[in-house]
Amino acid sequence: MADCTHDCSTCASNCGTRSKTSFIKPPHMLSHITRVVAVASGKGGVGKSLVTGLLAVRAQAMGYKTAILDADVTGPSIPKAFGVHDLATGTDGNIEPVVSRSGIKMISMNSLLEHEDDPVVWRGTLIAGAALQFWTDVVWGDIDIMFIDMPPGTGDVPLSVFQSIPLSGVVVVTTPQQLVEMIVKKNVNMAGMLSVPLLGLVENMSYFTCPDCGKRHEIFGESKAEELARAYVFPAVARIPIDPAMSRLADMGRVEEAETDYLADVFAQIARSREIKNYL
């Protein structure tokens, strides 16, 4: 038991912890999705949506058919960052995703609300159910890589996504602050419990480069990205600087014009991640 990987599918032991029930749900019957990557963090305000958007932009620019599932039901921000204000359409329970200027397919609660600033005042189980319906009821078509923008923490929605959607892996987003290690460890432990591979660690707001002198300043403290990546065996690591230009592009709905080279190593790991061969 000391060597347990929590991956019952590769284990011959008949121990008491063996999972007897799979909660994995297939996507819509007209969808074929090759890889699904969750972008997560143990706390809010670290830039998960920005990282999700930048990874999707890079994937689309490299020729992958890309999609974003915005699972942050009560705080959706993906459509705004891409300048997408259209409402999703559909018939007979089938939902068609909205599409960005570069062709990235996406679904978000804001794609279903009459007014973008309408609040979603639901309890946790309803919110988790809505996030899973984005997977089961949306006609995604052929997708090479889907990114899931997760809400913060390890509650109803993250647990439902990790248990019910066949993930190729997870990218963890953090910032260079003293509380970071505890937050990263929560995500690492959750991924380990549910047999989801770690693909990369992204440290957002890592540093600021002075536009006048070119000197780099670590405003929120010394970077811990490389240290944490070694400690928790992340195969790839990235540092995104504080960049007012990037923030402006997201605010203007033009995130597809933002620089994505910071995420090159993490994206390379995503491109090598496992394919989803069987949904059930």
Annotated domain spans of the chain:
24-271
- Looking at residue 6, its pLDDT comes to 45
Mean pLDDT of 62-72: 97
- Looking at residue 278, its pLDDT comes to 61
Of the two residues 157 and 11, the one the predictor is more confident about is 157
- Looking at residue 11, its pLDDT comes to 52
User: Does the pLDDT of residue 81 top 70, yes or no?
Assistant: yes
Mean pLDDT of the chain: 89
With contact defined as beta carbons under 8 Å apart, do 105 and 68 qualify?
yes
Give buried/exposed letters for 161-174 (b at 16+ CB in 10 A, else e).
Answer: bbbbbbbbbbbbbb
User: Does the pLDDT of residue 122 top 50, yes or no?
Assistant: yes
- Looking at residue 1, its pLDDT comes to 43
Q: How confident is the model at residue 13 (pLDDT cuts 50, 70, 90)?
A: low
User: Does the pLDDT of residue 151 top 60, yes or no?
Assistant: yes
pTM over cut 0.95: no
Q: Kindly state the percentage of the chain with pLDDT values over 70.
A: 91
Structurally, what CATH architecture does the domain formed by 24-271 represent? Answer: 3-Layer(aba) Sandwich (3.40)
With contact defined as beta carbons under 8 Å apart, do 198 and 170 qualify?
yes
With contact defined as beta carbons under 8 Å apart, do 34 and 112 qualify?
no
Of the two residues 35 and 2, the one the predictor is more confident about is 35
Can you say whether the dihedral through the CA atoms of 40, 199, 100, 140 is positive or negative?
negative
User: Does the pLDDT of residue 62 top 70, yes or no?
Assistant: yes
- Looking at residue 21, its pLDDT comes to 67
User: Does the pLDDT of residue 116 top 90, yes or no?
Assistant: no
Distance in Å from the first CA to the final CA of the chain: 26
Mean pLDDT of 186-210: 94
User: Does the pLDDT of residue 178 top 80, yes or no?
Assistant: no
Antiparallel, parallel or unpaired: β 98-99 and 94-96: unpaired
Span of 3-7, 55-59, 252-256 with lowest mean pLDDT? 3-7
Closest residue by Cα to residue 103 from 82, 128, 124: 82
Under DSSP, is residue 172 helix (H, G, I), strand (E, B) or coil?
A: strand
Local structure of residue 261 (DSSP, 8 states): G
> What's the CA gap between 213 and 160, in Å, rounded?
48
